[in-house]
Amino acid sequence: MGFVLRERWGAQPLWARCVLAVYLIGFAEGTGSHIADLVRGGIHAYASFPEIPLQVFFVSLVILDPLAAVLVGLVRREGIWLASVVMLLDVSANWWGNRHWLRDDPAQLLWLLPITVFGVFVVAFAVPLHHTVAGAASRSPVALPSG
């Protein structure tokens, strides 16, 4: 497995390895953040969001964030798409759940800037990264499982 993993990473151009590394860092940070929230607040850690679906989604990120990180780390195309979907939902849920700050205190929204920038980064690189990963898998001399 280690050889195949080195082959997958090594088959990527430098820009793609850098993007994959940023994905990994971002999803590792997200995993840690959501675990910390659950340790502090338990299953009701996101009770400040009045919408139950948002609360459920944020709790589910304890599974989705590390899953995306593992699939990205394995240089799987599924990981790129999962990362994009998770970030689209995460950014949207955060902005929707905190929309009251637009009226009450817009400066409070600055704390959404890092997640928004990361989300835009993930989505912006999804298609070129997918093509690069798919192309590298088809050119690899080692028989890699498709994906």
Give the domain ranges of the chain: 2-139
Number of helices (H), then strands (E), belonging to the chain: the values are 6, 0
Token duo for residue 93: 């849920």
Q: Who's near 39: CB < 8 A, 6+ residues apart?
A: none
Q: pLDDT digit string (tens) for 101-134?
A: 888 888 888 999 999 999 999 999 999 999 999 9
Ranges 36-45, 58-67, 68-77, 138-147: which has the least confidence: 138-147
| Cβ neighbours around 110 below 10 Å, total | 9
Report the distance separating Cα 139 and Cα 1, nearest Å.
18
> What's the predicted TM-score (pTM) here?
0.87
Cβ of 129: how many Cβ atoms within 10 Å? 25
Task: Kindly report each contact of residues 36-43 with a partner whose C-beta sits within 8 Å and lies 24 or more positions away, as own/partner.
Answer: 38/62
**Are 72 and 103 in contact, with CB atoms under 8 Å apart?**
no
Sequence-ordered list of residues with C-beta below 8 angstroms from that of 138, at least 6 positions apart, any chain: none
Please check the confidence at residue 142 and state whether its pLDDT lies above 60: no
Percent of the chain residues past pLDDT 90, beyond the cut: 76
What's the gap between Cα 83 and its chain centre? 4
Q: How far apart are CA 147 and CA 135, in angstroms?
A: 11
Q: What percent of the chain has pLDDT over 70?
A: 92
pLDDT score recorded for residue 2 = 76
